[in-house]
C-alpha cells in the first residue's frame, strides 16, 4: 500500500469550521485564544451560538504570592472575549494544575454539553503535555464518546502540535487574534506565548497555498469514531479526515477492552502505560517464557499433535467459511 503526504495532513485550508452550537473548553485563561481564537471568531461571524468555559483559575500562572492572581486571569480572559466578540466566558474556578480525570469531571462536561445542546465541543488535544490540558482532553473525549447525540470533538493545539484533520485559514484574523492575546499581560510578562502561537500558526501553512499567511490546526473526531477505537485515532496516518475516516475505522476490529468491557478512554490509556520492570522480575519472566516455549515445541513434535493436524485444519477452514458468510 502506498501513501502520500495528503494522507497525513491537509493540503487545503478551510475558511470556516463546521456550523452548529459550539462549546469551547479551555483548561486555563488564555488557552481559548491561543488554541482556537480564530475558530471562535469564525463561529461568531457565522452566528453560531457559542459558550466558552475556562476550567481552572490559572492562579499558578503568576509568581507565588501574587495578590488576586485568579481574579487577574479572569479579567484578562474577559478582555480577550470582548476582542473576539463572543460575550463572556464561564469560569469554573478549579485549582490550577489540580484537574483530575474521573467521573466528576466527565459528568460535568456532559452536563454542559447537554445544557448548551452542543454540536461541536472544542478541547485541547490528547497530544498536549501540560497535565491540565491532557486531563481535559481525555475527559472531553470520554464525555463525547458517551453522548447520546452525534456530537463532534474538535481538538486544538497550544503546547504541543497535533495531527490535524482541518486547517483553518485565519490570515484575515491575525490582527484581532494578536489583540486578544495582548490582553494576557500577566502571562506575556513571563513568556512570549503570543510569539510562539503566531509562529505555530505560520508553520501550519507549510502545506497550504503561498497566499495563506496563517492557519490554525484542528483534529475533528466524530463520536462514533471514539466508540470504535480511540487508540487508533491517536496515531498519525491514513484516514485522518473525520468523519470520512469512520468508514475505514468501522471496518477494523474494535479494541476488545473498549468494546467488551466498556473501559473509558482515560482508564484505557492508564492501563496501556508501560510500568517499570525490575531486573529480577525480567529474569523470572524470561525463564518462564523459555519453559513455555520448550513445552510448546515438545507438543508440536508429539505424535498426537501430528495425527490431529488434519482435524485442526478442518476446524480452521470451517471457521473461515462461517466468517465469510456472516
User: What is the CATH number for 43?
Assistant: 3.40.50.10320
Q: Is 209 helix (H, G, I), strand (E, B) or coil?
A: coil
Q: Is the pLDDT of residue 282 over 50?
A: yes
Q: Is residue 308 part of a domain?
A: yes
Q: Are 63 and 142 contained in the same domain?
A: yes
Name the least confident of 38-52, 133-147, 165-179, 281-295.
281-295
Domain assignment of residue 279, yes or no: no
Q: Which of 272, 297, 316 is the last residue of a domain?
A: 272
Q: Is residue 12 part of a domain?
A: yes
Cβ–Cβ under 8 Å, residues 39 and 218: yes
Kindly state whether residues 120 and 87 are assigned to the same domain: yes
Do residue 255 and residue 294 come from a single domain? Answer: no
Same domain, 265 and 296: no
Torsion on CA atoms 162, 166, 172, 174, rounded to nearest 10:
-10
- Asked if the structure places residue 158 within a domain, the reply is yes
Q: Which domain holds residue 319?
A: 287-325
**In the structure grid, which three cell numbers stand for residue 202, read together?**
505560520
Classify residue 281: in a domain, yes or no: no
Q: Count CB atoms within 10 A of the CB of residue 116.
A: 16
Where b means 16+ CB within 10 Å and e means fewer, 211-241 reads ebebbbbbbbbbbebbbbbbebbeeeeebbb
Shared domain for 236 and 160, answered yes or no, is yes
pLDDT at 305 over 80: no
> Of 272, 295, 314, which marks where a domain is finished?
272
Indicate the average pLDDT of the chain. 87
Distances (CA, A) of 288 to 129, 234, 283, 291: 38, 34, 9, 5
**175-197 per-position pLDDT tens digit:** 999 999 999 999 999 999 999 99
Does the structure show a pLDDT above 70 at 32? Answer: yes
- Going by C-alpha positions, the residue among 50, 86, 41, 46 that lies closest to residue 214 is 41
Reported as a single tens digit per residue, the pLDDT across 5-23 is 888 899 999 999 999 999 9
- Is residue 187 in some structural domain? yes
Give the confidence band of 307 by pLDDT, cuts at 50, 70, 90: low
Residue 63 forms part of a structural domain: yes
Write down the number of H helices and E strands in the chain: 15, 7
On whether both 219 and 319 belong to a single domain, the answer is: no
Say if residue 311 is in the same domain as residue 190.
Answer: no
CB under 8 Å to 207, separation ≥6 — which residues? 5, 9, 10, 11, 167
| Pair (258, 319) in one structural domain | no
Q: pTM higher than 0.85 for the full model?
A: no
Specify the number of domains making up the chain.
Answer: 2
Instruction: Extract the C-alpha cell encoding 290.
Output: 523459555
Domain end call among 249, 272, 295: 272
Residues 301 and 154 in one domain: no
- 25 and 133 share a domain? yes
**Co-location of 259 and 305 in the same domain:** no
Residues 145, 42 within the same domain: yes
Residue 118 belongs to a domain: yes
Q: Is 289 exposed, middle or buried (0-12, 13-18, 19+ CB in 10 A)?
A: exposed
Beta bridge partners of 90: 53
Strand order in the sheet with 120-124: 90-94, 50-56, 22-26, 120-124, 152-156, 215-222, 166-169
160 φ/ψ angles, rounded to the nearest 5 degrees? -150, 135
Amino acid at each position: 500500500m502506498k501513501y502520500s503526504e495528503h494522507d497525513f495532513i491537509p493540503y487545503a485550508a478551510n475558511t470556516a469550521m463546521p456550523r452548529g452550537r459550539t462549546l469551547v473548553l479551555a483548561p486555563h485563561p488564555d488557552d481559548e485564544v491561543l488554541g482556537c481564537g480564530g475558530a471562535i471568531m469564525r463561529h461568531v461571524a457565522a452566528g453560531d451560538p457559542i459558550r466558552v468555559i475556562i476550567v481552572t483559575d490559572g492562579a499558578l500562572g503568576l509568581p507565588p504570592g501574587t495578590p488576586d492572581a485568579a481574579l487577574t486571569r479572569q479579567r484578562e480572559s474577559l478582555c480577550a472575549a470582548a476582542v473576539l466578540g463572543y460575550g463572556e466566558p464561564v469560569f469554573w474556578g478549579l485549582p490550577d494544575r489540580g484537574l483530575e480525570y474521573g467521573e466528576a469531571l466527565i459528568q460535568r462536561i456532559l452536563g454542559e454539553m447537554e445544557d448548551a445542546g452542543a454540536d461541536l465541543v472544542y478541547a485541547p488535544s490528547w497530544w498536549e503535555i501540560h497535565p491540565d490540558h491532557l486531563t481535559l482532553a481525555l475527559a472531553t473525549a470520554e464525555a463525547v464518546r458517551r453522548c447520546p447525540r452525534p456530537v463532534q470533538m474538535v481538538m486544538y493545539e497550544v503546547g504541543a502540535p497535533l495531527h490535524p484533520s482541518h486547517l483553518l485559514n485565519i490570515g484575515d484574523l491575525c490582527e484581532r487574534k494578536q489583540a486578544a492575546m495582548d490582553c494576557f499581560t500577566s502571562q506575556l510578562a513571563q513568556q512570549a506565548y503570543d510569539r510562539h502561537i503566531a509562529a505555530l500558526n505560520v508553520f501550519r501553512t507549510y502545506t497550504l497555498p503561498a497566499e495563506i499567511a496563517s492557519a490554525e490546526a484542528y483534529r475533528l473526531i466524530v463520536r462514533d469514531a471514539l466508540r470504535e477505537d480511540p487508540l487508533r485515532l491517536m496515531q498519525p496516518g491514513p484516514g485522518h479526515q473525520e468523519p470520512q475516516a469512520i468508514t475505514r475505522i468501522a471496518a477494523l476490529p474494535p479494541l476488545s477492552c473498549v468494546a467488551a468491557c466498556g473501559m473509558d478512554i482515560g482508564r484505557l490509556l492508564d492501563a496501556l502505560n508501560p510500568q517499570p520492570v525490575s531486573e529480577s522480575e525480567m529474569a523470572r519472566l524470561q525463564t518462564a517464557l523459555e519453559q513455555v516455549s520448550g513445552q510448546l515445541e515438545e507438543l508440536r513434535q508429539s505424535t498426537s499433535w501430528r495425527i490431529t493436524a488434519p482435524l485442526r485444519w478442518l476446524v480452521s477452514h470451517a471457521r473461515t467459511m462461517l466468517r465469510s458468510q456472516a
